[in-house]
Amino acid sequence: MLYALLCYNDEAAVCAWSKDEENAVMAKLGAVTEKLAKQGRLGPVARLVPTTAATTLRKDRNPPLVIDGPFAETKEQLLGFFVIDCASLEHALETARELGAANPGGAYEIRPILQFWPGSAGT
């Protein structure tokens, strides 16, 4: 089954990483994703621009309302996601632990994917 691993972390803390720290985290993550790719389990991966660059379209009214930033004030923000093929929740947790060891702090929200369209943009 496909799982989405949604990466939440304190954006301010991640922005405070030095270039060396950033490169070290990316290298460690790269080693894990490479392994997953070899196993044929790695789907799309995205890293998002910080929420200060985000815009929200509230469509619960007509016309929809456009506001700056994400709606909720939270300590941790959605910073990116992985789509990974896992046999079970235990398997997904194990993978999340591996990725987490490469990228400390924050949380992964593990969500089974209901419907998936791989698409072709950006490929």
Find all residues with CB under 8 Å of 61, minimum gap 6, and list them. none
Give the residue, chosen from 50, 65, 89, 111, that forms a contact with other proteins under the rule CB under 8 A. Answer: 50
**Distance between CA 101 and CA 63 in Å, rounded?**
45
CA distances from 65 to 53, 62, 70, 123 (A): 17, 8, 13, 32
Q: Which of 101, 112, 113, 116 binds other proteins (CB under 8 A)?
A: 101
> Of these, 40, 57, 71, 104, which contacts other proteins (CB under 8 A)?
104
Binding region for other proteins (CB under 8 A)? 10-17, 21, 24, 49-50, 52-53, 55, 66-69, 75, 97, 100-101, 104-105
